[in-house]
Amino acid sequence: MKVDGNGQGKILTQDELKRLFTEGFLTPRDRALFGICLFTGCRVSEALALQTTDIKSGAITFRKSTTKGKHKTRIVDIPPALAAMLGEYQLKPGAMFPGMRGVTERLTRFMADKILRDACKRIGVEGVSTHSFRRTALTQMSSAGIPLRTIQEISGHSDLGTLQRYLEVTPEQKRKAVSVIGF
């Protein structure tokens, strides 16, 4: 859990996610931004770099030029829950999340972090960072039995070792793992 900017962002529970998206985030823009981070497992900077033209045919395209390693373009399907969030958000041509008029072209990471901190304060959750949505998404996929190679394609990690450091293993998963051992 993240404490004073140190450590990894908290993996969010189903209840915390539900409360964040219903009570914590106050605008369709905020729900769309963090919904993209959750449902695609992207970094907040990748979501903030999106153009409205990057969303079409039921998928989001994260251009190679805006990804962390700039290794390759990723295309991630939009699930129904994210489609509903995007439907509420009135998109205008250009930057998906525009900044302040005449000050910044797009919403900054600093402002996205402030929006998240305020939302977490409203619902009483600590240890959350903008990276929590990425960690939560990747951990949920892993827990559901999705192969690591598939998760790697979605997340854009260049190697499996880096991806595995993101994933949290719960005590229940460990109990279940050792319970299958025997003869």
Domains of the chain: 14-180 (1.10.443.10)
- Which carries the bigger pLDDT value, residue 7 or residue 9? 9
Here the tokens at position 48 are 């903030």
Cα dihedral 132→133→139→140 (10° resolution): 140
* pTM for the structure as a whole: 0.82
Dump pLDDT digits (tens) for 134-166. Answer: 889 888 888 888 888 888 878 777 677 777 776
Burial class (CB in 10 A: 0-12, 13-18, 19+), 4: exposed
pLDDT for the residue 142: 84
Q: What is the mean pLDDT of the chain?
A: 85
Torsion of CA 154, 159, 165, 167, to 10 degrees: 30
| Cross-strand bridge partners of residue 109 | none
Of residues 6 and 33, which shows the higher confidence score? 33
Question: What is the distance in angstroms between the CA of the first residue and the CA of the last residue of the chain?
Answer: 38
